[in-house]
Chains A and B, each alone.
Chain A
Amino acid sequence: MEEKVEDTFEIKDSEVDIKDIERQIQDNIIDRKKLGAYSTDVEDIIKRPLLPPPDMSSQNRTDLSSHMKGINSNWDIRAEYKISSHRPIIGRLLVWGRKLINGEVKRYVDLLIGRQSEFNKRTVSILSDFNNKIDDFNNKIDDINNKIDDINNKVIDINIKVNNTDSTNNISGADKIYGNMNYFIFNELFGGSNEEIRINTEQFLDFFLGCNNVLDIGSGRGIFLELLKEKGIKGYGIDTNDDLILYCKRKDLNVQKDDVMTHLKKLNNKSLDGIFISHVIEHLKYEDATYMLKLCYEKMQYGSYMVIATPNILNMTVSSNTFYTDPTHVAHIHPEFIKFLLGTYRFRDIQERFYQPTLKDQMLKKVDNIDSLNDEQKKIYEIMNHNIDILNNLLFGYRDYAIIAKK
């Protein structure tokens, strides 16, 4: 920390004497030090560099295999060459002389070079063996890692299956989800009209413009898929409800019957260029929801978007009342939690969007025309109206929200 201030700064202004300023700074440092400043117990944190300097990276390290190639082709240092001369007349004499000298020197040198070459040969052979063994080990480590991945995936599958047998609330087991209820009719009655859903969904289309493989998880009545089709965007949906799938197929929409985990797992990484998940996440258990979002990240291409829409539990009418209309809803999902989670999965540009406002006539009414009242009455009504605004926001705010994130 006793660094000299001299030459630390440059000010290219003839009116400014930088040397003088640097001297003043040096003096200030000395004065402050006399008063006990700049002594610190965090010096090791200050001195610690953030990351290795750029030139320490593996990119600049010499490649082992190129070394091996080099020594494999250069171990034999015995040299045989033809003695000749391009000179027409004295050439013969020169060749004879060189051959004589070469013969005399070669007698002694060949012995040494031969031994060195033999030593080189054995050393190279040992190094090649080691190198091959390293390759074998690396391949084995890769195999082991793949097997560990397989085992992890199997454990997750088993957990999902165990959960399905325990619970009726998992998207993975379609029959278990819906029980004896006709979910198609329920969804028609309580899930909002097609027109309403269409208007609410249209706002997200911009995130998928120009895409070629968008997945709609829980495609339901296929409204998002219809919108994609109208815009010429290629995409398909998955759902677990037979009636909803049949309904979509009749509308000539590309829908498959599959549960979300099974489907995502069988997709190639980075194969999707957009994911839309509307009103699905609240049907999942916490561990399934987080795993689903992690899988989504893996399957998405860099720069593509995911939109997750769900009931806005910040609206108390939603969180304490309408949320429970659907018995297959499992968990309240707070927008801050989804945003946090997506951040940890390395999604970028995470944004939230609240939509579906409650109709005005369903909200608490404010007192109008208070201008004609006297000041005291006006003040009381103003406070009352202010409080009504706060309550309206809390009780009757937006009914849905969406989180939009980019990979």
Chain B
Amino acid sequence: MQIHQILPTLSPGDAIGNEVLEIRKILRSWGYKSDIYAQNIHPDMAKFAKIFTEYKKISSPKNILIFHFAIGSEVSEFVKNLDDKKIIIYHNITPPNYFKGINDTLVHLLINGRKELKEFSNITDLALGVSAYNEKELIKIGFRNTGILPILLDFSLYDQEPDKKILNRFGQDNMTNIIFVGRLAPHKMQEDIIKIFYYYNKFIEHRSRLILVGSYGGAEIYYEYIRSIIKQLHLDNVYITGQINFRELLAYYGVADIFVSMSGHEGFCVPILESMYFDIPIIAYKSSAIPYTLEDSGILVNKKNYIAIAEMINMVVNNGELKKKIIKKQQERLQYFHRSNTEKSFKHYLDSIISTIK
């Protein structure tokens, strides 16, 4: 028996791509033959994956195929017609309306994604959401055998040397660094963080900066909007990093005093786990999967009261006791996502499907 993975796009530095590599590592360590198949393979990832149509050659009812689902693609139609045992790992589909007028191709793919996912509800042996929120969606769509498998992260990678240039640039001047990590996109609502920062920077702590870490590829219209709002609010200390490498990412976490998310839609939100790992207190808007990922840690925001959130940032940054308590809770929550726990659940789910193969 072989256990392989298939997905529409494999690119470096992206949460799904990282997880796919981790799962392959685990499956191989358990002795399974395991490869990755994808439709779009970023050149840097070419050595890790094969073109998805190649899978046809080894497809068998005795194989398990793990399909990572987050967007519509030709891969769906391809997988649908295979006789392999199928496990879907659902990373969530962003509601298409967020991208109307920003990226119409993406709107089309997201709409198709929802239709395609529904078609899998009767032909999938097991559907796993990366969060309780995602599992709920799967159940609503009509999947019967469902479960939760949080994203697998290899935190040993995070112990690399961070980029020195960034540490020197942003970490030496005692300014308060507020960060958000995630690609610039309408559903991540970076404009709300900017508005909060406006109040914080103008009226509470002038010696502060906001760093929005993430690429803006595919959402250039939104990027222009964000730039215009920064200009209209006369903010000098907002930095949009664009695409960065992993060591640069580590450096941004290294200089951060607080992580603020106002995102309206997240399937899991890996940066929250990363902030937990780097002991950065988290303030996040209570939407989609955020309450699941934070559980009883961090600070959840129920309503976007910009001034109150700016004051809360000030309180967390300057009140050592409060900050310590928040970080302690976050460390406890991070234990839940410990690799060994997630690996155990994965094994349990996998065994349940293996036992059905004759």
- Which stretch in A8-16, A85-93, A389-397 binds the other chain? A8-16
B46 interfacial by beta-carbon distance below 8 Å? yes
Asked whether, in the complex, the Cβ of A8 is within 8 Å of the Cβ of B302, the reply is yes
A380 to B318, CA, bound (A): 49
A7 to B305, CA, bound (A): 10
Please name all residues of chain A whose beta carbon is closer than 8 Å to the beta carbon of B186 when the two chains form the complex. 50-51
Please name all residues of chain B whose beta carbon is closer than 8 Å to the beta carbon of A42 when the two chains form the complex. 198, 232-234
Closest to B191 in A: A50
Asked whether, in the complex, the Cβ of A24 is within 8 Å of the Cβ of B315, the reply is yes
Q: How far is the CB of A367 from chain B (nearest CB, A)?
A: 29
A115 to B322, CA, bound (A): 76
Asked whether, in the complex, the Cβ of A46 is within 8 Å of the Cβ of B195, the reply is yes
Please name all residues of chain A whose beta carbon is closer than 8 Å to the beta carbon of B301 when the two chains form the complex. 8-10
A103 interfacial by beta-carbon distance below 8 Å? no
Closest to A53 in B: B97
A302 interfacial by beta-carbon distance below 8 Å? yes
Partner of A16, one of B95, B199, B243, B322: B322
Asked whether, in the complex, the Cβ of A51 is within 8 Å of the Cβ of B101, the reply is yes
A154 to B301, CA, bound (A): 56
- Which stretch in B79-87, B150-158, B168-176, B306-314 binds the other chain? B306-314
Asked whether, in the complex, the Cβ of A38 is within 8 Å of the Cβ of B41, the reply is no
Please name all residues of chain B whose beta carbon is closer than 8 Å to the beta carbon of A16 when the two chains form the complex. 322, 325-326
- Which stretch in B217-225, B252-260, B337-345, B348-356 binds the other chain? B217-225
Which parts of B6-59 form the interface with A (CB within 8 Å)? 9, 39-41, 43-44, 46, 51
Asked whether, in the complex, the Cβ of B300 is within 8 Å of the Cβ of A9, the reply is yes
Closest to A25 in B: B311
Please name all residues of chain B whose beta carbon is closer than 8 Å to the beta carbon of A209 when the two chains form the complex. 41, 43, 46, 51
Q: Mark B200-238, 1 if CB is under 8 A from A, else 0.
A: 001110000000000101101000010001001110000
A8 to B313, CA, bound (A): 13
Please name all residues of chain A whose beta carbon is closer than 8 Å to the beta carbon of B307 when the two chains form the complex. 1, 3, 29, 38
Asked whether, in the complex, the Cβ of B203 is within 8 Å of the Cβ of A10, the reply is no
Please name all residues of chain B whose beta carbon is closer than 8 Å to the beta carbon of A59 when the two chains form the complex. 96-97, 111
Please name all residues of chain A whose beta carbon is closer than 8 Å to the beta carbon of B103 when the two chains form the complex. 346
Please name all residues of chain A whose beta carbon is closer than 8 Å to the beta carbon of B312 when the two chains form the complex. 8-9, 21, 25
Chain B: interface residue total (CB-CB under 8 A): 60
Asked whether, in the complex, the Cβ of A206 is within 8 Å of the Cβ of B46, the reply is yes
Q: How far is the CB of A61 from chain B (nearest CB, A)?
A: 12
Q: How far is the CB of B287 from chain A (nearest CB, A)?
A: 12
A16 to B299, CA, bound (A): 11
B105 interfacial by beta-carbon distance below 8 Å? yes
Asked whether, in the complex, the Cβ of A3 is within 8 Å of the Cβ of B308, the reply is yes
Residue among A3, A9, A16, A59 having the largest count of chain B Cβ atoms under 10 Å = A9
Partner of B302, one of A10, A29, A45, A51: A10
Please name all residues of chain A whose beta carbon is closer than 8 Å to the beta carbon of B191 when the two chains form the complex. 50
Please name all residues of chain B whose beta carbon is closer than 8 Å to the beta carbon of A37 when the two chains form the complex. 203-204
Q: How far is the CB of A5 from chain B (nearest CB, A)?
A: 5
A28 to B186, CA, bound (A): 32
A354 interfacial by beta-carbon distance below 8 Å? no
A198 interfacial by beta-carbon distance below 8 Å? no
In the complex with contacts A21-B322, A24-B315, A210-B41, A12-B296 CB distance below 8 A: yes
A348 to B102, CA, bound (A): 13
Q: Mark B178-207, 1 if CB is under 8 A from A, else 0.
A: 000000001001010001001100111000
Closest to B303 in A: A8
A57 interfacial by beta-carbon distance below 8 Å? yes
Closest to A42 in B: B233
Which parts of B286-332 form the interface with A (CB within 8 Å)? 286, 295-297, 299-303, 305-309, 311-312, 314-315, 322, 325-326, 329
A sample of 20 inter-chain contacts (CB < 8 A) reads: A3-B303, A10-B286, A10-B300, A12-B297, A21-B312, A25-B308, A29-B308, A32-B204, A37-B204, A38-B307, A42-B198, A42-B234, A45-B233, A50-B191, A50-B225, A51-B186, A57-B97, A57-B100, A209-B46, A302-B105
Task: List 19 additional A-B contacts (Cβ < 8 Å) besides A8-B305, A10-B301, A50-B189.
Answer: A7-B302, A9-B301, A11-B326, A32-B203, A38-B307, A40-B202, A45-B229, A45-B232, A51-B98, A51-B100, A54-B95, A54-B97, A57-B100, A206-B46, A207-B43, A303-B9, A305-B43, A346-B103, A349-B243
Interface residues of A (CB under 8 A from B): 1, 3, 5, 7-13, 15-16, 21-22, 24-26, 28-29, 32, 37-38, 40, 42, 45-46, 50-51, 54-55, 57, 59, 206-207, 209-210, 302-303, 305, 343-344, 346, 348-350, 406
Interface residues of B (CB under 8 A from A): 9, 39-41, 43-44, 46, 51, 95-98, 100-103, 105, 109, 111, 186, 189, 191, 195, 198-199, 202-204, 215, 217-218, 220, 225, 229, 232-234, 243, 286, 295-297, 299-303, 305-309, 311-312, 314-315, 322, 325-326, 329
Task: List 9 A-B pairs, minimum CB-CB distance, nearest first.
Answer: A348-B217, A206-B43, A54-B97, A12-B296, A37-B203, A10-B300, A210-B51, A303-B40, A25-B311
